[in-house]
Amino acid sequence: MNYELEIIEDGIIIKNVKDFELTHIFECGQCFRWLPDEKGGYRGIAHGRVLVVSYDKETCNLFLYGADENDFNNIWYDYFDLGTDYGEVKAFLSSKDKYLRASVEFGNGIRLLKQEPFETLISFIISANNNIPRIRKCIENLSKTYGKPIFYNDNIVGYSFPEPEILAKCTEQEISDCCKAGYRCKYIIETSKLYCSAPINVQTLSKEDKNKARKTLAQYMGVGPKVGDCILLFTGARRDVFPVDVWVAKLMNGLYLPDISDRKKIESYASFYFGENAGLAQQYLFYYAREHFDELLNTI
């Protein structure tokens, strides 16, 4: 897709961006380093940069503060998945059933971010059996201690996510002291070590057999079926996966599979039923369920 750009003093405007809503994108659970700022936008860190994003619903203008045209072309276009026609995907999913229709309507501005592999890997290892505020804290702590400072006008405005080589050299105690990720600290180090010799190749994961891709990711300590599918989905490697956590299992029980609690069976049913867009279906359903579980179950 081609977008008209306008360069402004402190950033760039992308014109006519459809199917885009900040809260839907940043609160649907796919990312941990984006927070609302004072002016109604969102501020986040990715690719070693601090970016402030705002969006005008009336004009469909997307504002990226702290980005230039090069960054847009090389980074943010892909990061915000601006090449995908969400109108098309949403029409397909809405036609499936009333639950998807309601969920797509509720989270109509969701976009799947294509996030950096190593950060996504470590972040979702931390997410296991954990709660969101603490996950965010762990990631921030890790970045503050082992990431690089990001400067704006000689002031430090944030810290990049650490490089695998740095984390691989840390002791468990060092990670534990700053990150407070508990027993997951060991996983962080082991996974970082392996990542240095065997990094994630998104291209490869996207092309090979789904189960082979899962097997590759499961080699990293702390990565099981759910975290593995999150990595496939949130790095943009593939969208035909359906990460099943407690919430998704609950909602699938309530809506589609009343008698099945086995997560593997839920996943295989969903990826069959939703096909190549199973991952997006999961996001719409998950977001609706997280915000209004009972309403989703009572959808007429």
* Residues found near DNA in the complex (CB under 7 A): 29-30, 32, 127-135, 176, 180-184, 187, 218, 221-228, 230, 243, 245-247, 262, 264, 286
d(CA 122, CA 193): 12
In terms of CB distance, is 86 or 242 closer to DNA?
A: 242
In terms of CB distance, is 13 or 231 closer to DNA?
A: 231
What does the DSSP 8-state code read for residue 113? -
- For residue 195, the minimal CB distance to DNA (Å) is 14
In terms of CB distance, is 18 or 265 closer to DNA?
A: 265
In terms of CB distance, is 71 or 229 closer to DNA?
A: 229
- For residue 239, the minimal CB distance to DNA (Å) is 14
- For residue 229, the minimal CB distance to DNA (Å) is 8
Q: How many residues does the chain have?
A: 300
- For residue 56, the minimal CB distance to DNA (Å) is 26
Please, which contacts does 212-215 make with residues 24 or more away whose CB atoms are closer than 8 Å?
A: 213/237, 213/238
- For residue 218, the minimal CB distance to DNA (Å) is 7
In terms of CB distance, is 5 or 178 closer to DNA?
A: 178
Contact, 249 vs 287, CB < 8 A? no
- For residue 297, the minimal CB distance to DNA (Å) is 16
32 CB-contact burial (10 Å; exposed 0-12 / middle 13-18 / buried 19+)? buried
d(CA 149, CA 114): 23
In terms of CB distance, is 247 or 269 closer to DNA?
A: 247
- For residue 9, the minimal CB distance to DNA (Å) is 34
Place of tokens 């006008």: 153
Provide the token pair at 188: 């962080």
Helices (H), the chain: 22-27, 69-71, 77-79, 86-94, 98-106, 117-127, 132-146, 164-168, 172-179, 184-197, 202-207, 210-218, 225-234, 246-255, 263-274, 278-291, 293-297
In terms of CB distance, is 32 or 63 closer to DNA?
A: 32
Helices (H), 148-224: 164-168, 172-179, 184-197, 202-207, 210-218
